[in-house]
Amino acid sequence: MYAVILAGGGGTRLWPLSRPDRPKPFLPLLGERTLLRATFERVVPALLGPGDVVVVTDRRYVSLVLDELPELDRAQVLGEPVGRNTAAAIAYAAAAIERSPDDVMLVLPADHLVADQEGFRAVLRDAATVAAGGPPGTGSGPLVTLGIAPTGPETGYGYIVAAGRRPGVTGALDVARFVEKPSVDAALALLAGPAPVAWNAGIFAWRRDAIRAALATHAPDIEAAIKAAVGAGPADPAALDAAYATLRATSIDYAVMEPASRAGGVAMLRADVGWSDLGSWAALRDALVAGARAAGEPAGAVGFGARLDRGSESTLVMGGARLVVTIGLRDTIVVDTPDALLVCAADRSQEVRAIAEELARAREEDR
């Protein structure tokens, strides 16, 4: 078993803290450690040795990764010339890292929160057992995805619709289909429907041969381009540049999981482990409030940095170098950085992305 950590760049939803030169996996959003480091320590050493971890990232961030994870050799960090979403990153890792075809490959996004580490590792072990399913060399193991119990009709997630129980591992389900980012009405209909439904966390387990076969079947252009580049040898960045220049940017969910699920080749395991994709400031606020409550700590104004609060509720303060004083706020996000300050109603934190993009465009036009 080995783990591929996806530490992509981009992302404007946590502006002004996440910036092009230090994207979300490299931010210490939950305390001292960066999200990347926390992701690594979630599986090393309790589940894997450091030699069994690979990180895929933008070529610009390879040195950031090695700074954060000094346990890794340079060869364990795959630098993409440009981000092409998860299908390309996973195809690259599956092709470039030499492992036995029936080795199980875990895929872990580097920018999520998991509150229950022990429970998470137990689910990963079960997922690996399910994924290893087929006899060696057959390439017939299922693609396994972790499913999160929905807490509401969120429109920002993909939904997994399960079919029925799968024999063997307790709790494993066959997946009937995926529904990508539904409308609120469609999400409500899914939640009200008869079939078990879960959010797709983007955390996967599969045999190396299974994902390569699935890519060859459902996204042959991606698999072929990656194969050609990697065949030229890992030390040939020009071949990688050429391949990535032609690769389409698409998620593994769209490119592989959806068609594979229709063919009956996908399984799901529930992972009720305090997961959050930290996809907005409100999501981080919710995670920190839940953590504070679980620890019996004050949860009115959560966050980091030099802070002083009087009577705020459900408020997140990401402090910086300066003292941040908050008085009587409610459902508010405060993010303090050296060159920009965000103060935002929590229920509108999805709009941060639009602001960040607007500012980036304005900067471009100023050039």
Is 340 a binding residue for a second copy by CB under 8 A? The answer is yes
261: Cα within 13 Å, side-chain hemisphere: 24
Contact of 205 with 131, CB cutoff 8 Å:
yes
Closest approach of a second copy to the CB of residue 299, in Å: 18
Which one among 49, 231, 323, 361 touches a second copy, defined by CB under 8 A?
A: 323
Residues 63-82 that bind a second copy (CB under 8 A): none
Is 361 a binding residue for a second copy by CB under 8 A? The answer is no
Is 342 a binding residue for a second copy by CB under 8 A? The answer is yes
Find, among 174, 188, 255, the residue nearest to 221 by Cα.
Answer: 255
Nearer to a second copy, 294 or 325 (CB): 325
Nearer to a second copy, 25 or 319 (CB): 319
Sole window of 5-13, 51-59, 236-244, 334-342 interacting with a second copy (rule: CB under 8 A): 334-342
Is 20 a binding residue for a second copy by CB under 8 A? The answer is no
Find, among 240, 256, 242, 217, the residue nearest to 90 by Cα.
Answer: 256
CA angle (127, 132, 133) in 5-degree steps: 100
Contact of 174 with 166, CB cutoff 8 Å:
yes
Is 326 a binding residue for a second copy by CB under 8 A? The answer is yes
Residues 252-311 that bind a second copy (CB under 8 A): 308, 310-311
Which one among 338, 353, 361, 367 touches a second copy, defined by CB under 8 A?
A: 338
Is 330 a binding residue for a second copy by CB under 8 A? The answer is yes
Closest approach of a second copy to the CB of residue 181, in Å: 22
Is 39 a binding residue for a second copy by CB under 8 A? The answer is no
Is 14 a binding residue for a second copy by CB under 8 A? The answer is no
Is 348 a binding residue for a second copy by CB under 8 A? The answer is yes
Which one among 339, 364, 365, 366 touches a second copy, defined by CB under 8 A?
A: 339
Q: Which residues contact residue 237 at a Cβ distance below 8 angstroms, ignoring those fewer than 6 apart?
A: 59, 81
User: 4 in helix, strand or coil?
Assistant: strand
Is 220 a binding residue for a second copy by CB under 8 A? The answer is no
Q: Which residues contact residue 314 at a Cβ distance below 8 angstroms, ignoring those fewer than 6 apart?
A: 285, 289, 299, 300, 330, 331, 346
* Total residues in contact with a second copy, by rule CB under 8 A: 32
Nearer to a second copy, 103 or 331 (CB): 331
Give dist(CA 256, CA 251) in Å, integer.
Answer: 8
Closest approach of a second copy to the CB of residue 282, in Å: 11
How many other C-beta atoms lie within 10 A of the C-beta of residue 32?
Answer: 8
Strands 53-58 and 77-80: parallel
Q: Which residues contact residue 165 at a Cβ distance below 8 angstroms, ignoring those fewer than 6 apart?
A: 172, 173, 174
Residues in the site for a second copy, rule: CB under 8 A? Answer: 16, 308, 310-311, 322-330, 332, 334, 336-345, 347-349, 351-352, 355, 359
